[in-house]
Structures are given as C-alpha cells and as structure tokens.
Structure 1
Amino acid sequence: MIGERTPIIDHDLEPLPATARWRDTVLSAMPVVAILLLIAVLALIVAFLDGEDRERARTALISDALWVEQTLRFQLATDEDSVARLAIDVAAPEASPARFRERARLIVANNPEVTAVAWIEADGDVRAAVPDLVDAGALPARLPDLARRASFSARPVYGDLRRGEGGQLTVDLAVAVPEGADGRGAVVAVVSVSGLVKRYVPWWIAERYAVRLVDSSGRILTEKARVEPSDRDVVHRISFDPPLRGTELAVAPYRAAGDRAGYALYAAVAGLSALAILSLVLLQRHVARRRLTEQKLRTETAFRRAMEDSLTVGMRARDPNGRILYVNPAFCRMVGHPAEALVGRDPPMPYWLPDELDATRARHDAQIHGELKPTSWETRFRRADGSVFDALLYEAPLVDGDGTVRGWMGSIIDITERKAAAAFAQRQAESLQRSARLVTLGEMATSLAHELNQPLAAISSYAAGSLNLIRRGEAERAAIEGALEKLSAQAQRAGGIIRRIQDFVKKREPRFGPVDLADVVRETIAFASIDARTAGLRIDAELEPDLPPVRADRILVEQVLLNLVRNGAEAMAAVPADRRVLTVTLARDGAEVALEVADRGPGIDPAVADRLFDAFVSTKADGMGIGLNICRTIVELHRGRLQHRPRPGGGTVFTVALPVLVEDVAA
C-alpha cells in the first residue's frame, strides 16, 4: 500500500442489499437469455431449411433415378429391337450367313454394349456369328439352351447375369426367328451390362450420384461412381426385373459442395452463438469473482490496517527521489510527527539530526542511487520534542505487481533501550571478568607474597651489607656499586611483579591490537610458575617459531591462559608428583593460531562435558562455575573458538583458536 492514507477502495462501503443483488443477477442473466432465445430461433430456422433441402434433394433423387432407369430400359429396348429385326431378316428366303454377319457387325458398331451376336439353328448349330471367333466348337452350352427357350416365346428372352472376360457383367439376349424359317432357330446377342451403365448414364448424373446395379441382397454388380456416397442410408432403389432377373437400380447422392457450405454456415452460427454464451457466462463469473475479490480486499485491507496500527515497528515508504509516500502510526509515534506532516515531504526530513544532516543526506543519496538490494544500518533520529533516540533501519526496494521498482520500503526499530541494555550487559561482563581476576589474584596471594618476599629480602640484605661496609670504613667503590646494582635489579623484579598484578586487576576497557601470543605464553607461564612450584607442578611450553600476531587484548588473553593453566594444575592435584606435567603448545593452524593446554588429570565427566562452558557448571566441589564461561566469552569476543577434548592416556586438552591478523593472512 503506497501513497497517502486515502484508500483506493472505499473500505466503508456496506454489502449490497438483497434487492440490489437480485437486480444485478437479473440484469446479468438477460444477455444469456437473449442469446439462448436467438439460438432457439436459429435452430428452428435451420431445422426447417434442412427439411426443405432434404425434401428437394429426395425429389430430385427420385426424378433422376427414374430418368436413369428409363434411359437404360430404352437402350435395352433398342438392343432388343435391333436383334428382333435381325431375326426377321434371318427368316427371309434370301438370308445367308454373310448377310447376317454384315447386319450383326452394324448392330455391334452402333451399340457398343452389344459385344457379340450369333445365329443359332434349332439343332444348336451356329450358322454365323460376330465376332468370327465364335464357332460351334467354342459355343457355350448356355446359348443353345437360351435359343431353345426363346423359340417358345414371342418376346425377347434374357439369360442369367454372368461375369465375362475382364470382369465385365454381361447378359445374353435371345430372340426367336419367326415361324416359316427353316429350323426355327434364334438370334442371340451378348450385352455388356457394365458397358450399358457406364455409357448411358450421363456425366451430369455421375457427378451428382453413384449409379449402381445391385442384386436382391444389396451386393454391387456394376456401378458408375466417382467415390463412395457420403450417406449410405440415402439411396433410391428401382427394380430392374424384368429385364434383368433379381436386380435393382440403386442411385445414391454425393454430398454437394453447396451442402458443405450450408453446413459450415450453420456450424459457424452455432459456434458463434456458443462463443457468445460462453463469453457472457465467463464475464458473469468474472464479475462475480471481482465482487468477491473486492469484498475480500475490503476485509484484507481492514485487517492489514488493524495490523499496521498495532505494530510497534515503524514503517516508511519512499519514492525513488526520497519523497515519503507512506508512514504507519508506529513511525509517527516514534518521531512525534503526524502522518500529514510527513507524507509527501522531500528530504531533509524533520526527524534528521541537524548536526548530522550532511552525513544523513549523503547516506540517503547513496542508497537511493546505489545498488537495488536490501540494506540496514544504525542511525539517530530526533523527535518533535527535541529528544534523540537510536534507530535501526532496514531498507528494501519497493516493487509493484509488474516488477517495477517504485521506491524503497523501510522498517525502523527504536533500539535505544536495547543499546542501553547491551551496554549494561557489557559492563556487567567486564565487572565479572575483573572479579574473576581478583578472585584468581586472591587465590594466588600466598604465592605472590612468597615471590615478593625473595626480592625484598635480597634488597634488605644488600642494603644492610652496604651500610656495614660504609660504617666500618671498609667500603670500596666497586663493592658498593655491585651491591647497589643487585639491589636495583631486585627492586625492578619486585616492581615488575607489582605492575603485572596491577595490570591484571585494574578496571579498563578492552584494547585490541597486534599481540604476539608466544610472549603472552612466556609471561603467563612465568607468572603461573609461582603457584606451580608450590604445587610441585612442571609446566612445559612448546612454541612454534615465527608465529604471526593476532588481534587481541593482551590482558584478556593472559586471563584465559592463566585460568586454563590453574584449572589444569588443580585437575592434577591427586596425580603422582612425577606425572604432574602441564603442556602448553602454540602453533599455527591455517588462518588461526591454536593455543593448547593439556593436563594429565582424571579428565571431564561425560555428564557435564557438553555443558562445561555454561554458567555455574563446574567439575570442582568448591568451584563457582564461572571461570570457563568467562573464558569462552573472552575468546568469542576475539572472534575465536574455545574447545576441549580428551587427551590420549588420560587428561584433557583445552584449545583456544584465535584468527590471524588480516594483513598477515594476505601477506
């Protein structure tokens, strides 16, 4: 939500009343009802026109089928007449085989469906035939039989349909020679039914229909067709018996291009109507979803408004130029300015500190014009009453729904109390560390007194001897100077012990700098050897040469090492004297310097091993359980690690790993 607090959607709108919702529903449904009525009317018109078209097509089919039937029957009648006239000519006295052949060739030439003509006498002999290949020897037995049947009929007689050469469907036609002729025989013609259909069905019929001659079972005998008819149920059958026994003429229409265009038009109208209905339904659903979304948006906006008002974290949105677009109530309470005084304002802002104005403006410009990535930093703001507070800012690019960066969204947290608590905790930790050092020093007081007593006794002895020499008048310059030099050395020794005690216990801030851990180990071992000699303990140091320095506070590192050494010494209190050896090892481990303190004590109880560095956890009966906890805090302050592990052969190894100075690692 970017911009002023004026919402895009009126959140105060009440839900629509029932009458208004009903009226909207009716208005939304009216276009759908109108489209449905239009489709119903179109369906009726289409059904009526389709019925009319089917009736016209059926009438045309019947008419054309009858025309084809009459044409074929007429041609067969013509063939019958030609054969009958030839039979009459055969009955004439002047008839001869040569004359018969001449007339027969003329019939075959004028009627291509007639493939052969023969003159068969009553005894079955062939007097003449066209073509000449037909002779008595090759004469099929069916022809004399047909000739005998024809002799008993006054009309032409047809034989059975058969397949001739090349798969052609043929039929034999016989006409008896009139009475008075010798032998009474008959003239037989072979008619190609396939040729009859293909020749005498015109092209304009063949373009529209498939013309077929079928038997009583519907099997196709011969046909003239371009393709298979589109609808096998639409066919008109006419009996062709007689003259061809058991046959029917079947005429079936093809689908015309005009029909396809009409169907395409009907389909287009239906498709567009369906599309219109679908569009209206989808639009209605979209409107319903939009209303539901708006209602949800009202609820969600109210929820987010309540959530924003309850936040204690300040929210602020700015455009690419830094102008404030939005602030939430928490931010207004934080800076003490109302939203009206902040929204729409350009930098500098009224909550910027005057003495830090240039630095704040520079950081603001660097963020606005810099890399688009989330950033965070600490700063200070001034309230309207003039008080100053510490703030932690998190800024991230403000991206809209299209993925375009519209500015920056920031969250602001008042960390004044947090910083005060952190500072108090730091002071407490430092106080605890100093107390631990004082405790350590108190525990070492007897040993320190003994250590100081030695140089003090030497000083007293050298001073008394020098005074005696001077009083007796036996003083020699060289002897006096030697005694005074030894006295001065013992005084410096005592002063060094006192200074180390002062540095160890005095209160101060941590001071980090380059530290040579080898020197720290040597000095700490020298300091701890006071107690070690008393406890009968030997401390061995194994220091790797030429180690790089680490960034550390020398006194704090000494405190950690001294604590680990004293813990190791106490762990070996019950160990035989010849095994009381504490080993301090210093070596480089990659980008770290590892300091190890290994004792030969009984080791750490597994029950407390995982909690050893927790506060108030101790393995000693009279231990307070804060020493190792302080050590871990100090090591982590140096960005290091403090760990422990069992030592092979008995005992424990504590490891302090501190990072090497960055300059040394780069070198």
Structure 2
Amino acid sequence: MQQRSGRQAGARPGEPWALEPPPDRGRLDLLSLMPLLAIVALLALVGAAVWIAGRSETEQLRTKLATDALWVEQTLRFQLSVDEDMLARLALDEAGGTPAAVLEARARSHIAANPEILSIVWHDGAGRIRRAVPGPAETSADDALATQLLRIGPRARPAYALMDGQTVTMGLRPQGAEGVITATVSLPLMLERHIPWWIAEQYAVWLLDGSGAVRASRSRGTPGADSPSHTISFDPPIPGAALRITSYEGGAPFTRAFLPAAIAGLAAFAVLALLALYRNGKRRRAVELRLNEEMAFRRSMEESLTVGLRAKDHAGRVLYANSAFCKLVGWSAADLVGRDQPMPYWAPDRLDETLRRQRILAEGGDVPQSFETRFRRSDGREIDVQVYEAPLIDAKGMHRGWMGSIIDITEARRAARHAREQEESLARTGRLVTLGEMASTLAHELNQPLAAIASYAAGAANLLAQGRADPVLLASALSKLSHQADRAGQIIRRIQDLVRKREPRFTTLDLASVVRETAGFLSSDARARGVRIALDLSPVAPVLADRILLEQLLINLMRNGIEAMGEGGRGDALTVSLRAEPGGAVIEVADRGPGIAPEVADRLFDAFTSTKAEGMGIGLNICRTIVEMHRGRLTHRPRDGGGTVFRVALPAAAEEGVAAE
C-alpha cells in the first residue's frame, strides 16, 4: 500500500511528505494543563484589567470633576463681571450728568434681568443714601462699604465687602465722582440662576467663606462621605470665598459592577473548562476513528480515479503516483516514486522539450500551467496527453512542488482530426450551395432591371418603326436604359459582396429620395396589377447606408405587397410611409393582401420559406441580411383591416457612423 500511495516509510525527516518520528510517550501532556494555565492567565489578566479600569475611571472622574468645577467658577465670575460692568456704567452715567430717573430705570432693568441683584444704592459724599432701587437698603454692608470707599478714594473697578450672611455687596467710586454706588447680590439666587441643571444633577455646589462655613449652596441631596470633591478659590472677586463641588457618585461604578461579574464569570469558566477537557478526550478518540475512516475513503477515491495524478518536487523527483497514472504509462509506483528525471515515460524525441518545460515550470513560481505532450508507455506505444500542473502546497502553506493531472487525449485527437475532415467536406458542399444561391439571387434580382431594359428598348424600337424618332425621346430612353444596365451590374456586384461577406459601401443618404425613386421604378408594374402606390413621407434624419442595397430591400418588400394585392387583396393602395423615431428612421410598407398564415409567420425570414406558390423563398431572407448589415431591424405584423405591414428601423447617420467605423 505504501508503494501505491507514493510514500516511503524509510524517508528521511525533512524530505517532502516524509513521516515525522512518533512523539515521546513519556513527555508531559501539555494539552491537559492548558485549561489550568488558561485559568491562571485569565485570573491575572482580569485582575490587571479591573485594577487598570478602576484606576482609569477614577482618574477620569477626578478630571471631569475638576473641569466642571472650573466651568462653574468661570460662569459665576462672568456673571459678577456683568454686574460690575453695570455698576460702572451707572456711576459713569451719573458723573456725566444723566438724569436720576434714567439711572433708576436702567438699574431696575438690570435687576429685572438679573434677580440675584437685590438692590442698587447711591450715596453722597458724606456716605448718606440719596436714592435706592428698588427701595431703601436693608443691610448695613452698603453703608460700611460706602464709608470705606469714601475714605480710600476713587477706584477703576468695584470693590467687594465681606460676605454678610447670604449676601455680598460691591461698590464703586469712579474718578471725579463725589458719591459712591453700591449693589447687593444674593448668593443663593446667583447659584440657582447661573448653575445649569445638568451640573446640579451630578454635583452639589457650595460657596464657602474664609472659615469654611457654607454661605450658599445648590444641591439635590447630600453626597456620600467617600464622594470625590474639588475646591477652588473664589477670591477675588469675593474676599475669602471658595467654591466646593462634590460628586454624588461614591466611587468608580465600573469597578463596583465589574468585580462581582468577573468573579462569577471566572468560576463558570473553570467549571466549563473541566467539562470541556473531559469532552475533548472523548471527542478526540471519536475523531481519530473518523480520521482513519476518511483516510481509507480518500485513498479509495484516489485509486478509483480515471485521471492520472502525479506529484513531484521542485527538482522533478516523483513523490506520488496513483494507480490511474501507473496504468496510463505502464509503470508501477515503485518504479516511479523517488526517481529523478528523465522519467522512463518521456518520449525520446521530445526529451529536450520536456526538460526545457521542467525548467520553465520550476522558474515560473506557484502559477498553474497546462500543456499537451506525448508519453511513451513501457510497451513502447506513444500516447498524447494533456497535463495540468498546479502548485503543491503543504499544510504550512509552503510551495513544495507540483501536482499534475494527466488525461489521455489520444482518442480525442483522433476524433478531432476526423471532425476537421468532415468540416472541410461540409465547407466544399457549402460553397456549391452558395453558387446555387447566387445563381437564384441573380435570376430573382435582375428581373426588375432587365424588364426595364427590355421595356425601354421596345419603346425606342417602336418610335423608330413609326418614324417618330424624336432625338430627345430617344436620348431619354437610351439614358434610362443605360441607367438600368448600370444598375443591373451594381446588383450583380452587390450580390457578389453578399456572397463573399464583404462590407457594403456606406454613404449618407436621404431616405425620402430613395423611397420616391423606388416607387417610381415600380409604378408601371403596380398599375398593371391594379395597385396604386401611396407615399406618406415625413422629414427624417439622413442615414449611413448603401443606396443599391436599400433599393433592393424596398423593391423586394414593395413588389411582394403588389403581388399579394394583385392575387386578391382588400384594397387598391400600397402605402409606403417614412417617419422619424428617437435615434433613427422607420420605413413601413403596408399592403392589403391576404396576410401571412400563423404557421409561416415565425419562420418568414428563413431561407427557402415563401408564401407564394412559385416563390423561391430567398427574397425576405436577403432583405433581413441587408437590414442587419445596416445595423437595423426588420419586423412584420398584421395590418388592421387585413394585410401585412413590414417595418424597417434604421439608425441615424450620426449614431450608425460610429458603429460603422
């Protein structure tokens, strides 16, 4: 079996596909320790992660607390600076001579917009109250601050007194003024109005004096004893004041929530690891059994293949050969596996070619390749084979050599040669049929110009016989006769082009002139059959077409309609219409003949299909060929009231010219 599979039991370790030495049974089974090692490592990682996460969250809380405290401090400072600016404007306006009523109105307006301002008081040079808004001052801090400012002298910015209960007073004596203006601010109202709700939901905010006593606060409850807190000085502007902001959260919520869950998870993991270890041993024995069965099954499939399989390394040495390959070349696996090139099945007359191909294969990288060559069997008979070489990739993803799939194509080549001989025979027969079609086409297409030539010749002879040989009439008849003769020659050349499948000669044409000329050519034939040709021509864009081929197309369609109406139609007018459509033009030839039978309609344009008793069945086939040469479309449909409508759609010259180029 080792010879059939292409593996040698005595191969050295490190060689491609060599068997590795069995493991030492006394070595410690690391697989059984893996769950314990995983648990220990996971405990360490979880502990470190909890510590780092808790520390990080605590630092983030402290940073956020400090940032929010600074925001609150800046907000309150800004509001007090607004009040200071208001006080400075009132003092300057008074010094500038603004009436008292205007000053009081401005003061009331500011108090209405900023309710934390309880009162604004004006003092004279002796410290007495001259006026107050909204009424008399209720605190002694106004008088004390006014007296102090009168003693100190003028200032550029307002000065603050010490906090008096839950209020603080600011005052200003500007340069050149005799009196002092003071304002009393409610600290609780200031915190209530200017600390937003989202700050109050997260923190308790206190305003402290120099002794640490709370003078004002905004909170929704009492924070815990271990809640983080941050204190920031609020002096200036208020002497001895400080802001304290305390979070309602007692610690890192992540740590409190995660630690119990982590412990429970580790315990569950330990139990699951033990169960997994037990199930792993059970599954391992079952998998080993299935592996042996799969290996036997795959070996059976390899030996049952009819395609030869051969593996070789980069040096060309055979590593594996299945039984189909051995039968193909007539050599056993023992004769081939491990053998260096040249191989015994290589054809001697192709030895150099085979060696060159092996070098190209080795230098070409891991790219699949396919080629045909010839092998010589052990009995000396040569066979043609198709070889598909694919990269041989091992379990580690390394390119170790090439895996070849070899198919015997000797019989296929013999059948291909026979098929080529049959095709050549059919081609000769086809050329004979083409000659017959060309002769029939000549007879069919030349009937019109030859009939016209005969008609013009007979007319000229009659004129000469009657002695009325008018030179003008004779010149006109002979000119038309010459034109029809030229036209017959052009028809022959075009039919030859069709047979030889040469490209037609395209020029820009006016479809209306082509339709009129064709109708005039057939008018005498139509009158003889009692049919009138009615034209309905609308302006259309020029088309890129061969004039002779279009005339042949219209003659065939209009003549078929005339003949159908002459055999017993329902009217006397053959209608030829021309109209524009998006991207091109449409010609419709509508007759009042008996129509087309349903059993013939689907194959009407096929060769040798005709609805006329003596028709050859090639006219409409030629018409379709002409329309397809012009990249158009030829269709037909029944006409309302009886008859048939043939529709020719042709692209405009601008679009068709691009395709023709």
Report the TM-score when normalising by structure 1. 0.38
Report the TM-score when normalising by structure 2. 0.39
